[in-house]
Chains A and B, each alone.
Chain A
Amino acid sequence: MKPFHALAGLAGRFLAALALVATTTGAALAQTPPNVLVVGQIAEPKSLDPHAVTAVNDFRIVMNLYEGLVRYKDGTLEVEPALAESWTISDDGLTYTFTLRDGVSFHDGSPLDAAAVKYNFDRMLDENHPEHDTGPFPLSFFFSAIDTVEAPDAGTVVFTLKDPYAPFLSNLAYPTGLIVSPESVKSQGADYGRNPSGTGPFRFAEWESNAKVVLVRNDDYWGGAPALEAVVFRPITDANTRVAEMLSGGLDLMVEVPPDNVSQFAEDDRFTVFEQAGPHVWFLILNAKEGPMSDKRVRQAVNYAIDKQSLTENVLQGTAEVAAGPTPPAFSWAYNDALEPYPHDPDKARELIAEAGHEGAELTFYVTEGGSGMLDPVSMGAAIQADLAEVGFDVKIETYEWNTFLGKVNPGLEGKADMAEMAWMTNDPDTLPYLALRTDAWPDSGGFNSGYYSNPEVDKLLEAARSSTDQAERAELYKQMQTIVYDDAPWAFIANWKQNAVTGSAVEGFDLQPSFFLLLSGVTKP
């Protein structure tokens, strides 16, 4: 498979170069119809049941069909009212009471009321629920903190949690928290995912397998009907083909533009390029349990040795920014902007390694061939190997296909490797550190702390931040956590990915969101 990939990569560069020549000759663009937005997606969706999907690719569609009780404020990762007009949280952080917006209906005509909201969470969480078998619901653990959901009257929903859980509101804004129509689920059963019904600005019209998903304007939308008549989502898995379709006018909007092609679109005034840093972090897990990496100085040395600027500029071609710590800057309210990324300083790295007595150590490095959010893992791995060789480490790379890779890394690196690539995209500053940096999150306790990092101070801060419902207080705790983790260096902090998209010149009112969702209700294309 490898030579094929290398060839395909070469072919991609060749295409990019030739396409530049081609487009500067200025061929007329084929037109898509007015008021219809054609979106180039990276794959066929798995389902349009928001509780059954896990991929950003599917989120891009469902976010336009459905709404949750709350949503992220435009351009931020802070929640604001959506289907719920307002809410109160009890002092102990255990009871959330939501007041629903009046007069909202699902696309199938049934009313959105408290019973419908309760149904949504019961279907996901209760294994004995009659429609639980319309799942599986892989991300239902986002709501595992819920003890009960009550509907005291048609306009009020009360959630009682088992333990205080600060990310609860943020999770309600995530696709797993979107509200589906109980009537449609009951009538469609297992086929609901292909016949969805929500309350959002667009309603489902058609899904032709492997060709398109069509959404049309919801004229009765409570927030005002969108300007677009229809949105067509086309799955085009090959990035070069997606670029060619965009260039030939077959698409109005394209997501995940390959790094090779971004500058080409940027230089062409028929297109507009959008970039938006998101809640993503790309890092190396360092095995703090054994070997050279069990010494903090060596882990810091790795951070100094890697030229992150060169990685983001040359390997990722500007599609990512250098990461400073474990929390991405997209969580602006919780991000500690006092942290500066470790500078590229090989001398300092060699000094620290010598101090720790690990000169010339042999290291095993797990690299993946690809995977969700992993950007360009093989080239990144090779560049990192070269940087570490410069400070005297003999790094042996082992490359695995994504699923195999996860099967090796998630159970822990002990006895296998000194470092491994990893990337996460989350919706709350709690998620990643809580699942991957706490002592109680070591793999044998069911977490993702595959490098066995342990610092009781960090554990305490994360527990406290999770049980507080005051955002300012949480922010303070996360900032302290970042300072400690930065210094302990359980990971090598490498990059924060910038999501990108390209639109044709007729498209207006579009912007990317830090959540990586694609929100189209405000877009026009006369």
Chain B
Amino acid sequence: MKTLSLENVSYVYGKGTPFEKEALHGVKLSLPQGKIIGVIGHTGSGKSTLLEMLCGLLPPTEGRVLFDGADMYLSPKDAALEDMKKDGYSGSPFILSLFYHKYWKKAYALRLEEKQARRFQIGLVMQYPEYQLFDETVLSDICYGPKNMGLSEEEAQKRAKSAAALVGLRPELLQKSPFDLSGGEKRRVAIAGVLAMEPDVLVLDEPAAGLDPQGRKNIFDAIATYNQTTGATVILVSHSMEDLAKYCHQVVLMHDGTVVKTGSVEEIFSSSLNLQSYGLDKPQITYIAEQLIKAGIPLLGDLFTVEGVEKALLDYIKGGENK
């Protein structure tokens, strides 16, 4: 499994133009392995820029993005110079330039190889991914990614079928056209297409937006199962605080291009942090629990899911009976 981290990353859109806009500013972030990490923040807080950067699609203007310990966006030039230093080359620019080309070529080939490998190690599910479906059948659409990895037809199909089962697509749908499916089913096909590549890191931008409650639950359950069975790191952006509180191990709170806080669900949704000032909200159930505590009912434990508050209330009631 591979780790991902950001070191003092900044990103400026349209640098040097009148429309210059800083989307990320000095972001330091280390994403724990094997966890589900939620990213929250208002529109324009830099969430999507961050995701693109983590996927290797957007080189930072400043700072480094480290994947498996290596700088994801290291240029062949810098890599070549580093390699030369390692091999003990020093001295005048003239001496260096004699050997530079050879090193550059090697570094370039290596970077390219790494880049291609990364496409399969980090899987990205974009917003409204159902618009990316294109193939004649659901099965061949899901197979597209694995086949591009160079897997055989059988292996690709095997992976596609298990990914389809994971997201809860019924086997009879596999031979249908993806365009004949409902919105929720299409979304699941698109996600299965990424899961079938079995990425070490799964990145999702609002995977459940626009879905009905049942569809939302299916998607999140599938993501949680993938995380548990493969140990992959999952990074997801969502505006649904209820879903994040239920499924995430850790939450990253972003505001105006900076990371305000990284912490457990409890730390982020606890009363000390005024989420409303960041244009966000707590889960309704947490609000209810806090109001009850304010009114003098001591509730303990997980106050971020309905199940948790139910247990806390039942414990409290039982405690009263035993007195």
Is B one of A's binding partners? no
Chain B residues at the A interface, C-beta cutoff of 8 Å: none
Chain A residues at the B interface, C-beta cutoff of 8 Å: none
